[in-house]
Amino acid sequence: MLELSRRALLTGSAALAAGALGGSLPGHAAAPAAGRQAAAFYRYKVGDYEVTSINDGARTFPMPDGFVRNVSKDEALAAAEAAYMPKGQVTVPFNPQIINTGAKLVLIDTGYGPGIAPSVGLLPAGMAAAGIDPKAIDIVVLSHLHPDHINGVKTADGKLAFPNAELKVPTLDWAFWMSDENMGKAGSDMMKAYFQNTRKILADQTGKVTKYDWGQEVAPGITAIDAHGHTPGHTAFALASGNARILIQSDVTNIPELFLRNPDWQVVYDSDPVVASQTRHKILDMAAAERMTVIGFHFPFPAIGHVEKDGTGYRLIPVSWSPVI
Amino acid sequence: MLELSRRALLTGSAALAAGALGGSLPGHAAAPAAGRQAAAFYRYKVGDYEVTSINDGARTFPMPDGFVRNVSKDEALAAAEAAYMPKGQVTVPFNPQIINTGAKLVLIDTGYGPGIAPSVGLLPAGMAAAGIDPKAIDIVVLSHLHPDHINGVKTADGKLAFPNAELKVPTLDWAFWMSDENMGKAGSDMMKAYFQNTRKILADQTGKVTKYDWGQEVAPGITAIDAHGHTPGHTAFALASGNARILIQSDVTNIPELFLRNPDWQVVYDSDPVVASQTRHKILDMAAAERMTVIGFHFPFPAIGHVEKDGTGYRLIPVSWSPVI
């Protein structure tokens, strides 16, 4: 029987061999294929707070040269393939979080926004499915000013996507990305594009944004934590309600399959790769020691898990989907 | 700064210490908390077929004595706790699959049905969210006749939940569970309840069900595979379309955190625990060697992953949620 099973698995032909084809009525058509994925949101509680993790989408692209600065492309691709990513490619997901504190509705990071690719910019669809009105967002907090975190601030016609929200940005990231002197020194095309993009999305908010510093609450129960290295002002967040607390690590690691397993690997997006790696170790060591629930912007949706030390790196234990909150 | 971060993470008090509490306007209330989880469905393609994985829910309960027959309760609980299940408890999820072949709409297993607990019986809600009408299901295939797989055949008022569907059952499971002689020999309260439940749900379908055997197609492209041991007729399925194929392993392993990692652990639900363990090794060795996509009824939603050999057991690499299909 095992041989039959093996043949069925490998060729799908066992039944044909056995002559037992299920009867398919000519002319009968099943319900039409839906052809689209579920809008992805997931709810969880942190004390009295209700949090909604929303998947803005994911991008799968051929791994560029230098994607991991300090290991060979073959080694980086082997890690991607070990995680069952398509051969030669890498998949990066994006997961904003919406926190309802009871008094404030707070969005942390806004995703890629419209017009980049069909597989991203899905935050508005996810919010609609979750029943959250963009007009009801009180505070938008940006962890740093990279495109996949800030572009969702604007709609396709350049209006504010969250028109009633206070927009909070890290003081040090604002200073870095809005500096014309820094833009003039940008070496790579990627960095030049990042500087231009920051202006495109945020220049008209100059004088309107609220700048925040590490150690401050950006909203009740949400404390900004120094996580610089990825960018000069890159920020993680501790979310606390009652005795419950979680760590929103933002981009302390990019995709866990590569950079949480190998915390010394330097992703091309890190402004200061050496400091970014030090930050990874410090914050992830703490999260592992305290068995904290950790949210990662680039973790696979719902982007929630626990981090454990594993050899010289870490591993992510993803949360098991709960049908109730 | 790290000490400040540590204090923020552990106590949530960094901001209070810094005197930087975000201003919460008296009288302002955020949007009301939703208080409910997303209806959980996830779509994926297998060749030309569109499959929808639906979470019927999950049950979390104090681990009973003998849950794992052949290891100590402490050892079993340690494995559950290592997977971040609540202390002293175990969580078991349930995930039916709906396959749209283009000609047939096929449901494999039906979940717990109504009236068991608020955290299960969610298949109808998931189908509604996915836009799948129960009346459109052409074929319901039961992998075996345990309650969490068959009870969803009926609605709360005892009617057929999928009124237009052909109901297909494994010949050997039907013979086993419908035998009054076997029922008379049932030793445990659990087994007695299972026999009674099978009659409650399926007795009125006697003469109407279609019995299927291993090696046959239960629907176009879906081949029944011998996976007995869990029950006498327990069946896995190979789903094939074009060059694509996946393994729907049904209950070859119960929850992966315990029984895929430790394939020789005997879950209390296995009819023949020794054969069930042999089946686990045979089928999972094959799935690992072939790098097959594997669907597990008791895997965490969306219940899709790859299985790899790891020491004396296996590990599950869950699929990364894709925003497009």
Chain A residues with CB under 8 Å of B214 CB are 1, 4-5
Residue A31 pLDDT class (50, 70, 90 cuts): confident
Is A322's CB within 8 Å of B58's CB? yes
Are the C-beta atoms of B304 and B316 separated by less than 8 Å? no
Residue A171 pLDDT class (50, 70, 90 cuts): very high
Residue entry with tokens 């969490």: B148
pLDDT of A32 reads 86
In whole angstroms, give the CA distance from residue A91 to residue A85.
7
CB proximity B317 to A under 8 Å: yes
The residue-averaged pLDDT of B141-161 equals 98
The residue-averaged pLDDT of A170-191 equals 97
Q: Which residues pair with B225 in a beta bridge?
A: B236
Region of A6 on the Ramachandran plot (φ > 0 left; ψ -120 to 50 alpha; else beta): alpha
CB proximity B87 to A under 8 Å: no
Is A58's CB within 8 Å of B323's CB? yes
Q: Which residues pair with A76 in a beta bridge?
A: none
Are the C-beta atoms of A268 and A64 separated by less than 8 Å? yes
pLDDT of A23 reads 42
CB proximity B55 to A under 8 Å: yes
Is A12's CB within 8 Å of B130's CB? no
Chain A residues with CB under 8 Å of B129 CB are 38
User: By three-state DSSP, how is residue A223 classified?
Assistant: strand
The pair phi, psi for residue A182, each rounded to 5°, is -65, -40
CB proximity A101 to B under 8 Å: yes
Is A119's CB within 8 Å of B240's CB? no
pLDDT digits (tens, 9 = 90+) for B107-120: 999 999 999 999 99
pLDDT of A29 reads 65
Chain A residues with CB under 8 Å of B128 CB are none
User: By three-state DSSP, how is residue A315 classified?
Assistant: strand
Chain A residues with CB under 8 Å of B31 CB are 100, 105, 132-133, 136
Give the tokens for residue B60. 């979390």
Is B9's CB within 8 Å of A42's CB? no
pLDDT digits (tens, 9 = 90+) for A71-118: 999 999 999 999 999 999 999 999 999 999 999 999 999 999 999 999
Please give the residue of chain A at the shortest CA–CA distance from B123. Answer: A323
Chain B residues with CB under 8 Å of A31 CB are 100, 105, 132-133, 136
Most trustworthy range by pLDDT among A27-41, B25-39, B109-123:
B109-123
pLDDT of B6 reads 63
Are the C-beta atoms of A230 and A194 separated by less than 8 Å? no
In whole angstroms, give the CA distance from residue B249 to residue B235.
8
pLDDT digits (tens, 9 = 90+) for B163-184: 999 999 999 999 999 999 999 9
Are the C-beta atoms of B85 and B92 separated by less than 8 Å? no
Please give the residue of chain B at the shortest CA–CA distance from A212. Answer: B20
CB proximity A47 to B under 8 Å: no
The residue-averaged pLDDT of A131-135 equals 97
User: What's the mean per-residue pLDDT of chain B?
Assistant: 93
Check whether A25 has a pLDDT greater than 70.
no
User: What's the mean per-residue pLDDT of chain A?
Assistant: 93
Please give the residue of chain B at the shortest CA–CA distance from A223. Answer: B15
Check whether A62 has a pLDDT greater than 60.
yes
The residue-averaged pLDDT of A44-68 equals 98
Cα angle: A309, vertex A312, A318; to 5 degrees: 35
pLDDT digits (tens, 9 = 90+) for A251-271: 999 999 999 999 999 999 999
Which of A4, A9, A13 is the best residue to mutate to test the B interface, defined by the most B CB atoms within 10 Å of its own CB? A9
pLDDT of B256 reads 98
Residue A6 pLDDT class (50, 70, 90 cuts): low
Which of A53, A99, A217, A294 is the best residue to mutate to test the B interface, defined by the most B CB atoms within 10 Å of its own CB? A217
pLDDT of A308 reads 98
CA distance A214 to chain B (A): 8
Please give the residue of chain A at the shortest CA–CA distance from B41. Answer: A38
For chain A, give the percent of residues with pLDDT over 90. Answer: 90
pLDDT digits (tens, 9 = 90+) for B197-221: 999 999 999 999 999 999 999 999 9
Is B6's CB within 8 Å of A286's CB? yes
Check whether B259 has a pLDDT greater than 60.
yes
pLDDT of B20 reads 38
Q: Where are the beta strands (DSSP E) in chain A?
A: 41-46, 49-54, 57-62, 89-94, 97-100, 105-108, 139-141, 166-170, 210-212, 217-219, 222-226, 235-241, 244-248, 293-295, 304-310, 313-318
Is B28's CB within 8 Å of A101's CB? no
Among the ranges given (A35-39, A160-164, B18-22, B81-85), the one the predictor scored with the smallest mean pLDDT: B18-22
In this structure, the number of other CB atoms found within 10 A of the CB of residue A133 comes to 12
pLDDT digits (tens, 9 = 90+) for B269-280: 999 999 999 999
Check whether A15 has a pLDDT greater than 50.
no
CB proximity A5 to B under 8 Å: yes
Are the C-beta atoms of A251 and A272 separated by less than 8 Å? no
Q: B264 Cβ partners below 8 Å, 6+ apart?
A: B70, B277, B312
Check whether B48 has a pLDDT greater than 80.
yes
Mark which residues 239-298 of B lie under 8 Å from A by CB: 240-241, 245, 247, 282-283, 286-287, 290-292
**CATH class of the domain defined by B39-318:** alpha beta
Among B84, B133, B322, beta carbon nearest to A306: B84
In whole angstroms, give the CA distance from residue B40 to residue B42.
7
The residue-averaged pLDDT of B290-318 equals 97
Among A104, A283, A320, beta carbon nearest to B30: A104
Is B322's CB within 8 Å of A247's CB? no
| Spatial CA neighbour of A277 closest among A68, A65, A90, A61 | A68
Every domain of chain B and the residues it spans? 39-318
The residue-averaged pLDDT of A228-238 equals 98
Is A21's CB within 8 Å of B217's CB? yes
Mark which residues 131-170 of A lie under 8 Å from B by CB: 131-133, 136, 138-139
Which residue would you say has higher pLDDT here, A228 or B32? Answer: A228
pLDDT digits (tens, 9 = 90+) for A284-299: 999 999 999 999 999 9
